[in-house]
Amino acid sequence: MQLQEILYSQGFGTRRVCAGLVQQGRVSVADEVCTDASAEFEALGLCFSVQGVPWAYHEKAYVLLHKPAGTECSQKPSTWPSIYTLLPAPLRQRPQKGPIQGVQAVGRLDQDTTGMLLLTDDGKFIHRMSSPRHHVPKVYEVGTKHPVDAKQVDKLLAGVVLDDDPKPVLAAACEATDEHSLRLTLTEGKYHQVKRMLAAVGNRVETLHRSRIGALALPTDLAPGQWRWLTPADLAALQP
């Protein structure tokens, strides 16, 4: 693949911009500056740097972000800063066939919810992780306003009716972890689901943090606002 095409596929700008970066000596491959935009390279496994910033070729982008509070999972936020501002420009600019470019969040978390968020430019991956048919478990650490009791846990496990759906919504797993906290596992995602489920059993969510998706836990060394690429082992742990 030509070097300018590699840069374009990774989100470093239009083909013309990418060719210009190479011709201006701003791209290095194997620690050597390359000024030939049409130079051919094996893309898979290629590592290069653009303006001194190292980058590795990824045919598809799979990213894990530790979402901080006070951010919106939207490219056009209404009130709070967008989570996409936490990502480097190439991830936001990766070319897509549709009108929206770059990686997209796999589901959404409310602005005050923190924790594990996946982003990708792979539409099939988004569908597989989001569809209730695949029953991908998502684990939430919930802080509550009122004490958690056994009756509330039992109701959440048995299923509660939300106002827009006559079919009961139930937790795949639920356990009290403290007087004012519980660990809740869901396999489907509805609007404000955790908050509405807790309200349905007479409690209220004060804090909400997603700690796990599938068998993959949020890394303890990934601070709020930080991101990293998903490894092959991570992707395997996310398989339903």
What residues are labeled active site? 110
Query: In the 8-state DSSP scheme, what is residue 2?
Result: B
Q: Are 80 and 72 in contact (CB under 8 A)?
A: yes
| Residue 149: strand, helix, or coil | coil
Strands 205-213 and 114-120: parallel
Question: Which residues, other chains included, contact 220 with Cβ-Cβ below 8 Å and sequence gap of 6+?
Answer: none
Residue by residue, DSSP assigns 38-106 as: T-B---TT-EEEETTEEEE--SS-EEEEEEPSS-BSSSS-SSSPBGGGGS-HHHHH---SSSS-S-EES
Question: Which residues, other chains included, contact 78 with Cβ-Cβ below 8 Å and sequence gap of 6+?
Answer: 72
